[in-house]
């Protein structure tokens, strides 16, 4: 499961099962960092992305 921490300088640490997999930012403030982090974690915790590891997106279907 993906979770996140916001650092003192408003960067986001993305964790997978408690292990840090990425650090993104910093943002101008903690609100922007939290908004981005929640969206990314919700995306990669969804059933649609269950087999996809962050930071990858869904693979393109043939013909796209």
pTM: 0.84
- pLDDT tens track of the chain, all 64 residues? 999 999 999 999 999 999 999 999 999 999 999 999 999 999 999 999 988 888 877 666 666 5
What does the H/E/C string look like for 21-58?
EEEECCCCCHHHHHHHHHHHHHHHHCHHHCCCCCCCCC
Note the pLDDT of residue 51.
Answer: 87
Burial of 6 (0-12, 13-18, 19+ CB in 10 A): buried
Residue with tokens 């993104």: 24
Note the pLDDT of residue 50.
Answer: 87
Phi, psi at residue 23, to the nearest 5°?
Answer: -130, 130
């Amino acid at each position: 499961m993906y979770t996140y921490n916001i650092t003192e300088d408003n960067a986001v640490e993305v964790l997978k099962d408690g292990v840090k997999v990425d650090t993104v930012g910093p943002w101008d403030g903690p609100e922007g960092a939290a908004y981005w982090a929640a969206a990314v974690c919700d995306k990669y915790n969804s059933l649609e992305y269950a087999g996809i590891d962050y930071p990858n997106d869904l693979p393109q279907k043939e013909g796209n």
